[in-house]
Structure 1
């Protein structure tokens, strides 16, 4: 999951000046002794997503010999990941942490994860194949996958109807509808531009591009690939036509505008459904979900934006119990039903995909079963996408470039070029073998 709660990327210790943070409730050697003597094992879990605490409470009620304490941190990009990495460096990290798939390679490169393959491989078959790859590097496994982030288009059905506009099925039509609506009422915008690297990555993903790859021990960096350039040119045209509301998606101002019908759509991941339903009170029942607009008529390609693991941090004294909890957290029916409802996840556990919670109508979305749309999106997402090892840098540089583009101080293409160049430099500075295309 990545959202307003998870707008983050990983961190690479060698490139960051880390400020030591105070430790709290790290798992201790006494817990290991307690486990061996048949006593209670105490595990600490750091994360920020809503609903996590409820699943932790349910686990504790059903497992008298393991107690998990959930401690809420800032989201990854707001300091949560730095706090985790600092704690690992100081030797007082919790056993468990919420870590997005995009950040896990950075944690691995920093030596901040515990290899728990010995315990985790026994449950590998429970999970969608590509999510297991997302928590693994070769034969090492660093945690248990929780969810994925298939993308679709959220939209105000009532506003499209008011302006007599169709639900866009192609990106060409999406632009036409946006221009028509804004011309009819200059206070109404179809959408906002992509504002950060992960928004843009999801769009590139859908278009068939990839930002990173590996071959023969060499990293390939292709952020400025043809598909990314196509996406950049598309949004540049809409920006230049002044039909985009220049507001970061899902922030407070965006929520207010969307609730009033001044922003009509959001192309994003499944996790946004909970954020929308919990915050857009005035427009409840007026929203709907459709597949992402396509580059070609009749296409079905989708992108992915998000997906998290419950990772086991380096130094965990009770890795077996940590994996036991993480697997329960991701696959137990009571936990996944809670996380679907309160966190907005699309489960990585295959059995959870048939739960009633992902097969029922939503009152907020006008009685639509929105998970039908996301099931189709998940089935049409390229699962070979790979994240790079310096995503904090990538995200920071890309977001800076997008801010400049949206304010007229640069272009979307400039954001690609600048991020490509800075990423190559950052990876080489880490001693990585890298090539760029």
Structure 2
């Protein structure tokens, strides 16, 4: 109905996988079902029933003409945002700050919510990817680098400053004692968006095993997704092929 009245798609995906993060939405749908590319033992689960369900949902939306193409990465996404070509942006918490910067004139027209459950009663929070800080083993200043990591990530005051500046919601629970996370947002229709993020942090979450072969899995997943989005391929078939290929590449067992 929204597309008929406004021309806006439901959401956008990088259909030809021009960027490495093209499968973020698929990965989110997996995690909302408590599964991933590998199980906790390191076995491959790319073709699990949950994965097929996730890819089938994407295919259903695409076949209905509800998915725009975000090929080209960040610049294309920013153009889509400014042109209003998508009704929903399934993005990380920090993207709220980007929206405020890019379309300040749309204050009061946006809202934030947790993703809907894929299955009734299922999870409504997922951490598709996250920002990490690491210290190089070859560094001559490891102690100083670690002090910086500690300063930025483990002190509530630092996390509050980051949130105030760029809207990046912390994983540090103690930071949410600050009033800034409980203030109504004029841009987001008076919502207390910090409390939405806190709700996600408090939600039960599964452990996910990225393994040392995550990059290989990601490449095969994005290729499979492109076949579904651009050629109408069968989700179960392409995911089965991807799982088997990943097994050949890594020597890992494909879990059935």
Whether TM exceeds 0.5 here: the answer is: yes
- 1:205 Cα shift? 0.4
* TM-score under structure 1 length normalisation: 0.52
Change (3 A) 1:378 1:334: closer
The answer as to 2:123 corresponding to 1:277 is no
Aligned length: 249
Q: Which secondary structure state, in structure 2, belongs to the residue aligned with residue 367 of structure 1?
A: coil
Q: Which has the higher contact order (CA 8 A, sep 6+)?
A: 2
In the alignment, is the contact (CA less than 8 A) between 2:28 and 2:127 conserved in 1?
yes
Do structure 1's residue 201 and structure 2's residue 21 form an aligned pair? no
- The 3 A distance-change label for structure 1 pair 348 and 295 is closer
Say if 1:302 and 1:380, in contact at 8 Å, map to a contact too: yes
Counterpart secondary structure, 1:245:
strand
Report the CA distance between 1:298 and its aligned residue. 5.4
- CA-based RMSD of the aligned residues comes to 2.6
1:368-395 C-alpha deviation (Å, 9 max, x unpaired): 1112122222222523122121222222
Asked whether 1:435 is paired with 2:256, we answer no
Alignment of 1:340-355 (within 5 A): 340-355=163-178
**Structure 2, unaligned stretches of length 5 or more?**
16-21
The CA deviation string for residues 79-127 of structure 1, in whole angstroms up to 9 with x for no partner, is xxxxxxxxxxxxxxxxxxxxxxxxxxxxxxxxxxxxxxxxxxxxxxxxx
Offset at 1:260?
3.7
Larger Rg: 1
- Bigger proportion of residues as helix: 2
> Using the alignment, how far apart are the partners of 2:249 and 2:204 within structure 1?
29
Please tell me whether the aligned partners of residues 9 and 65 of structure 2 are also in contact (alpha carbons under 8 angstroms): no
Verify the 8 A CA contact 2:23 2:222 in the aligned structure 1.
yes
Structure 1 CA distance for aligned equivalents of residues 72 and 129 of structure 2: 15
Secondary structure of 1:269's aligned partner: coil
The counterpart of 1:292, out of the listed 110, 115, 140, is 115
Q: Which residue of 202, 210, 223 maps to 2:36? A: 210
Q: 1:252 to 1:319 in 2, by over 3 A?
A: closer
Please report how far the alpha carbon of residue 287 of structure 1 lies from its aligned counterpart in structure 2 after TM superposition. 0.6
Per-residue CA shift, 1:125-161, capped at 9, x if unaligned? xxxxxxxxxxxxxxxxxxxxxxxxxxxxxxxxxxxxx
Shift of 1:331: 2.1
Q: Which has the higher strand share?
A: 1
Q: C-alpha separation between the residues in 1 aligned to 2:101 and 2:220?
A: 31
Change (3 A) 1:378 1:250: farther
Partner of 1:367: 190
CA offset digits 1:249-281 (Å, max 9, x no partner)? 973334333334331111232121122222123
Secondary structure in structure 2 of the residue aligned to 1:192: strand
Q: Name stretches of at least 5 consecutive residues in structure 1 with no aligned partner.
A: 1-179, 429-433
> Counterparts of 1:412 and 1:274 in 2: how far apart (Å)?
34
- Provide, for residues 386-425 of structure 1, a one-character-per-residue CA deviation record: whole Å limited to 9, x for no partner: 2121222222232233233222263444553343233223
Q: CA deviation at 1:214?
A: 4.1
Equivalent residue number for residue 232 of structure 1: 55
Within a 5 Å distance, the mapping from 1:13-32 to structure 2 comes to none
